[in-house]
Amino acid sequence: MAIRKAGDEMAGDHALVRALEPGRIKSLCAADRKSVMHPFSALAEQSNSDPRILARASGVYVTDANGKEYIDGGSGLWCVNVGYGRSEIADVMAAQSRELSYALCFSGYSSEPLIELAERLLALAPSPMAKVLFNNSGSEANEAQIKIVRAYNNLLGRPKKKKVISRWGAYHGSSIAAGSLTGNVIVHRHFDLPMAGILHTASPDYFRRENRQLSLGEFVRATVDELDRLIVSEGPETIAAFIAEPLMGSCGVIIPPDGYYQAVQEVLRRHDILLIADEVITGFGRVDGWFASPIVGMQPDLMTCAKGITSGYFPMSACLVSDKVWDILTADPSEAGVFGHGFTTAGHPVGAAVALKNLEIIERENLLENARNIGAYLLQQLRTHLGDHPLVGDVRGLGMMCGVELDADKSAHQPFDNAYTIGSIFGKLCLEEGLMVRGGHGKAMAALAPPLILTSAQADEIVNRMSRALDSLAAHLQQNGLWRPRAFASDRS
């Protein structure tokens, strides 16, 4: 089986991919079942099921150990922005490892690639930012933001102003603090989360609004009023920050209605509350620009970056800190003292070198423009070919992020009661068609965020494969008495 090469090599020769020997696959599966604890999975099922072992990847294609090729419609975990198999990134990684394989950035130590990357990020930031604090993951970066917010208010003499408000359905990580920010019961249960001081308010999910009679404007007002009431009931003197993804990713590609963030920021300014923009998914070309904040009208005081900063080639994340916050953190050195936070491999010189090359590729190959144009094309094709399917309730997207959400009753906008199960079946049927998709926590849907190098022909193939998976899902649900469509044409083309 052949897979396509990434970047400027995609139109050239195909690389031959060989499946692993059956005996080797069997041995690896047995070792995995015995030794590996998989994140975000049903642990009790791992000893009875084989993993899907991935063996090769290039461009937008991933091949498993059996030689089956998939279009990666989710960029891994929303991260492989420039596509797989970039030899120039691998070369930079190797070269930097030979020259300076590790450098700490504690206590004033630094390295050339780290300094250059910090300057680059500050230049790209949509809102004026003063400094960059590097971390290893989005969870770590959002954890650091909570600490920054606490230090900021302590130094202002406001020890009670520490609570952070997130939203139900949001994803901000899975550590103790970042997992608390995440508005999903799967991340909370078993771990006694959310921790004290983390609150949640309504998601701007207009499609799933409880009151179907509300207009967009009325929905925005009602949602923001709920936030305001929460702040007032808790006491504005106790609320430090509000954290939000410009577009909510993992809960199902939720695009806020026009005016939502403007109204939110009016409330935050009135109560002197900081705004944290979580651009972990949406940054670095995913949504119609380097960052999504200006697209939706956000003017953050703090920003979190990860994933696309290195396109997943190296673990790295960053907190961008505004002048407003930085000035308070440094106003009184004798009072501030040491900022006691950091990680051993944060600001890694190899990661910084990879990030710089990754950003160079995005710019050199005009991937922001490609993501804008092909993303719009993919959304149009999804709406044209899947929008009238009796299972499809909504098709939405912005940039290279799209979501296809399913309804049990399309005419009544009624979701499936067993949404998680339906969504899981849909994802598996997409895999059978050679398409990897992301889900939406608590929703029956497929989310798409393919690499920014996607072509129109590959977008068409994504639509074709998802269409076949939808038809298979409809047949499966009918056969098992899980769904009764008002109308369905089994020979729909």
- Using one digit for the tens of pLDDT, what is the confidence trace for 96-145? 999 999 999 999 999 999 999 999 999 999 989 999 999 999 999 999 99
> Is pLDDT above 60 for 215?
yes
Helix boundaries (H) for 156-190? 176-181, 185-188
For 345-387, where are the E strands, in sequence order?
A: none
> Is pLDDT above 50 for 75?
yes
As a whole number of angstroms, the distance between CA 203 and CA 276 comes to 16
Distances (CA, A) of 112 to 103, 116, 118, 350: 10, 6, 10, 11
Q: pLDDT grade, residue 489 (50/70/90)?
A: very low
pLDDT at 181: 98
Q: pLDDT grade, residue 178 (50/70/90)?
A: very high
Model pLDDT for residues 403-449, shown as the tens digit of each residue: 999 999 999 999 999 999 999 999 999 999 999 999 998 899 999 99
> Is pLDDT above 50 for 7?
no
> Is pLDDT above 50 for 13?
no
What pTM did the predictor assign?
0.94
User: Could you tell me if 347 and 105 are in contact, meaning their C-beta atoms sit under 8 angstroms apart?
Assistant: yes
Question: In the chain, pLDDT over 70 holds for what percent of residues?
Answer: 95
pLDDT at 17: 58
pLDDT at 105: 95
Collapsing DSSP states into helix, strand and coil, what is residue 64? Answer: strand
Which residue in the block uniquely carries the two structure tokens 């998914």?
A: 281
Residue 362 token pair: 């995005």
> Is pLDDT above 70 for 301?
yes
Q: pLDDT grade, residue 336 (50/70/90)?
A: confident
Average pLDDT, stretch 30-41? 94
Nearest Cα neighbor of 246 from 129, 80, 127 is 127
Nearest Cα neighbor of 183 from 375, 440, 486 is 440
User: CATH 3.90.1150.10 spans which residues of the chain?
Assistant: 2-85+366-479
The per-residue pLDDT of the chain, averaged, comes to 94
> Is pLDDT above 90 for 207?
yes
pLDDT at 487: 52
Average pLDDT, stretch 382-387? 98
Residue 280 token pair: 């972990």
Question: In the chain, pLDDT over 90 holds for what percent of residues?
Answer: 90
As a whole number of angstroms, the distance between CA 374 and CA 448 comes to 13
User: CATH 3.40.640.10 spans which residues of the chain?
Assistant: 89-364
Beta pairing class for 435-436 and 317-321: unpaired
Residue 318 β-bridge partners: 134, 305
pLDDT at 417: 92
pLDDT at 335: 87
pLDDT at 11: 37
Contacts of 204 (CB under 8 A, 6+ apart): 167, 219, 220, 223, 248, 254, 256, 257, 260
Which residue in the block uniquely carries the two structure tokens 């009208």?
A: 297
Q: Does domain 2-85+366-479 have CATH number 3.90.1150.10?
A: yes
Alpha carbon 45 to its chain's center: 26
Overall CATH class of domain 89-364:
alpha beta
